[in-house]
Structure 1
Amino acid sequence: MAGNSKRRGAVRKPGTKKGPTVGSGGVRRRGLEGRGATPPAHQRPNHPAAKRAAKAQAQARRQSGKKTDDTEIVLGRNPVLECLRAGVPATALYVVLGAEADERLTESVQLAADAGISILEVQRHDLDRIATNGLHQGVALQIPPYAYAHPNDLLSTAAADGSPALLVALDNISDPRNLGAIVRSVAAFGGHGVLIPQRRSASVTAVAWRTSAGAAARLRVARAPNLTRALKGWADAGLQIVGLDADGDTTVDELDGSGPMVVVVGSEGKGLSRLVRETCDAVVSIPMAGPTESLNASVAAGVVLAEIARQRRGR
């Protein structure tokens, strides 16, 4: 019978201006509005694709470990391929899921597989976070910190070889391409190692690895907290310290390279620093026939090392 229903309707509480207490009464209309386009599968929290992406991201973090200043991520198909061809000791190759394959990517994956490097498929947005400009071309290579030797290890290497020690120390060399080229020259002309200072110097990065054409894998590179102190220690061990500078006191033509020695290479712009120059037993320069004032540091080092190797072959 009308009016006798026991069901409570949408009524207002006495003494309040709030909406009805039973039923929506239109209050939740906003919740019924559209929420836009459906997000991609890997962005939906409970979707299997999202779980796979989270798993791959966690695995990538485990592979990379804690990032340090020496850890490098090489981006782009050409740089990655060049590093793998040069035998850079990488730890992981990241390839974007669904990346368009070409000859460079195919060869990179093959070289990484042959070298035992982990190959990880990741989402594109994972590499986008690593590459601030987004120009990774769907591939990245992770290179761990280089394991530097101790300066005394280079002396041990020379002693085991049986020939007079031939070491090269770098002062104020900041370009990793110069470092890589010098490492390559030292290996080519029978040197036993390269010494670099711990601060204000180029380090063994992916660029240096590529420029050395794989020589960095065969020749040891040491790093010293104090270059001057390390050179004095080598001098006490019987090595002649020869500086290479455009303002040298003598020329390389007068250099006797038959004995154990260290060739200290200064930068093209600044040359040798004051303390290092005072540590040298002699400072030589390369005579120039033309108007060119100086050579690139790596070229100059190669010229001197070639002369020393020539003298030692003629003994």
Structure 2
Amino acid sequence: MSDDRKTGTPKDSHYARLRRAHRRTEGRADEGERPAVKPRPRPGQHQAAPAPEGQVRLYGLHTVRAALDNPARRIGRMLATRNALSRLGIEEPSTLPFPVEIVEPRDIDRILGPEAVHQGAMIETAPLKPKRLSALTDTPLILVLDQVTDPHNVGAILRSGVAFGAGALVTTSRHSPAETGVLAKAASGALEHIDLIEVRNLAEALEELHAAGFETIGLDSEGPAELEATFAGGRIALVLGAEGKGLRQKTRATVTALARLDMPGAIRSLNVSNAAAIALYAARRHLAAGGK
């Protein structure tokens, strides 16, 4: 239905008027804003330019604002529209300790490519340096990911983790996504509010968590007990595997317990980020009740 004449729809019908109105407004946005749905790049269409060596590009208002507020961030430069600067609460860009270029949205489009929903703000920054497990703070709740590689899922898990007060996200140094604009955008600022910990051997890390008083609970759709009935004690590490393959066998054999989310419907599994959010909610309720 690309042409009203081909479909036989009368030119002045209500349907035709709606289509003409949509074509007039499609892609229109205030300065610094991006349409909710962006087109897929066509063959030969401009793609994202590589970031400078040792730098990542973060974009979006929530992501950039959180990065600006994080003293651990080493920002190289910022590109922003006047509207985005206003929404970020930046009245005098010259007072920032790094160069700021005031640009048009299309200038950021040329750098990030056509699919990045940047809202008129982008920074180039050194990635955050992950910590060692020995640097884990005295937090009662953490997340452990067993080779979850999709940056959208990891970003969403970070966002839920921060929302429910998890103190750290533990991942393996291999088979986990690097810090990217996609991951940071999905996290919506959460990347700046949680400790990132990398380990080389996940099974050994789980044993260290046991020694530190954590109950490690692996989420498994075929787990022998419901999650809520599995909680014990005042320190919980929720362990989640990648979609499809789930937890690796060594991980399954090492965790304190395997547990399932009670799902009475026809679908018996969830996207890993959705499962993480539900498990975090249940764990937080257990801890709020005294961890008994």
Counterpart residue type for residue 190 of structure 2: A
What are the superposed Cα offsets for residues 71-91 of structure 1, whole Å, 9 maximum, x if unpaired? 3135xxxx4545323436461
Matches within 5 A, 1:156-171: 157-158=137-138, 165-171=140-146
Matches within 5 A, 1:1-315: 67-68=53-54, 71-74=55-58, 79-87=59-67, 89=73, 91-93=75-77, 95=79, 103-104=83-84, 107=87, 110=90, 113=93, 116=96, 118-121=98-101, 131=111, 141-154=123-136, 157-158=137-138, 165-315=140-290
Counterpart residue type for residue 149 of structure 1: K
Following superposition, the deviation at residue 247 of structure 1 comes to 2.3
Following superposition, the deviation at residue 173 of structure 1 comes to 1.0
Partner SS, residue 118 of structure 1: coil
Separation in structure 1 between the aligned mates of residue 272 and residue 169 of structure 2, nearest angstrom: 14
Separation in structure 2 between the aligned mates of residue 310 and residue 121 of structure 1, nearest angstrom: 46
Separation in structure 2 between the aligned mates of residue 265 and residue 295 of structure 1, nearest angstrom: 12
Partner SS, residue 216 of structure 2: strand
Q: What corresponds to 1:35 in structure 2?
A: none
Counterpart residue type for residue 143 of structure 1: T
Counterpart residue type for residue 133 of structure 2: P
Separation in structure 1 between the aligned mates of residue 208 and residue 66 of structure 2, nearest angstrom: 34
Q: 2:158·2:169 contact (CA, 8 Å) conserved in 1?
A: yes
Counterpart residue type for residue 83 of structure 1: T
Separation in structure 2 between the aligned mates of residue 95 and residue 146 of structure 1, nearest angstrom: 20
What are the superposed Cα offsets for residues 222-276 of structure 1, whole Å, 9 maximum, x if unpaired? 1112222211222233322210122222221312243323211112221101111
Larger Rg: 1
Instruction: Assess, with a 3 A threshold, how the Cα gap between structure 1 residues 105 and 184 changes in structure 2: closer, same or farther.
Output: closer
Separation in structure 2 between the aligned mates of residue 167 and residue 132 of structure 1, nearest angstrom: 33
Following superposition, the deviation at residue 194 of structure 1 comes to 1.1
Partner SS, residue 110 of structure 1: coil
Partner SS, residue 152 of structure 2: helix
RMSD over aligned Cα, in angstroms?
3.5
Partner SS, residue 90 of structure 2: helix
Partner SS, residue 233 of structure 1: helix
Separation in structure 2 between the aligned mates of residue 133 and residue 205 of structure 1, nearest angstrom: 14
- Give percent identity, aligned residues only: 26
Give the TM-score, by structure 2 length: 0.66
Partner SS, residue 85 of structure 1: helix
Separation in structure 1 between the aligned mates of residue 194 and residue 95 of structure 2, nearest angstrom: 20
Counterpart residue type for residue 132 of structure 2: H
Following superposition, the deviation at residue 117 of structure 1 comes to 5.0
Counterpart residue type for residue 237 of structure 2: V
Separation in structure 2 between the aligned mates of residue 204 and residue 112 of structure 1, nearest angstrom: 29
What are the superposed Cα offsets for residues 171-218 of structure 1, whole Å, 9 maximum, x if unpaired? 121122222222222223232211011111123333333333323222
Instruction: Assess, with a 3 A threshold, how the Cα gap between structure 1 residues 132 and 252 changes in structure 2: closer, same or farther.
Output: closer
Q: 2:143·2:161 contact (CA, 8 Å) conserved in 1?
A: yes
Give the TM-score, by structure 1 length: 0.62
